[in-house]
Amino acid sequence: MSEYKKPLPVIQPWSKEFWKGSKQHKLLIQECNDCGIKIFYPRLHCPDCWSSNLGWSQACGRAKVYSYTITLAGVEEKFAEDLPYVLAMVDLEEGIRMLTRIVECKPEEVKIGMDVEVTFEDVTEDISLPLFRPSAKR
Ligand SMILES: [Zn+2]
């Protein structure tokens, strides 16, 4: 694994479990054990009922593209090698909307409503980033 030069997530006590899951190639989402809502991004308290009684569950990894943009230019040097790339918001089956990148396809193949699935890029020994690729069942 060559040295990773792009920014890495800052791991907080309340997001540690999420990144631990990503490292194991599991997409974890928080759930409130009191009111039952699913929560993303990871937090200390439920945004709905303010409970701190939160747990984790593994998402199935299937999602649909809600919206996206193709980045063609105008990025910091460290991102230039990735151009063009697709930044997207995807809706997980669990009802979570997540900002991510769409990979393993040409940018022009990405469409709103397209089925995608999670994949993980191992960027350092401790960090794997959840990204999405076209679903295999297309
Ligand atoms: Zn709650």
| CA of residue 1 to ligand 1 center, whole Å | 40
- Sheet bearing 54-58, strands edge to edge: 38-39, 28-32, 54-58
| CA of residue 35 to ligand 1 center, whole Å | 4
Centre a 10 Å sphere on the Cβ of residue 127 and count the other Cβ atoms it contains: 16
Centre a 10 Å sphere on the Cβ of residue 80 and count the other Cβ atoms it contains: 10
Residue range 40-68: mean pLDDT, rounded: 97
| CA of residue 53 to ligand 1 center, whole Å | 8
| CA of residue 135 to ligand 1 center, whole Å | 31
Residue 71 scores a pLDDT above 60: yes
Q: pTM higher than 0.85, yes or no? A: yes
Which is higher by pLDDT, 5 or 111? 111
pLDDT at 1: 58
pLDDT, the chain, mean: 95
Burial 101-120 (b: 16+ CB within 10 A, else e): bbbeeeeeebeeebbbbbbb
pLDDT at 138: 52
Please state, in angstroms and rounded to a whole number, the distance separating the CA atoms of residues 97 and 46.
16
**Dihedral of the CA atoms 99, 123, 108, 97 (nearest 10)?**
-20
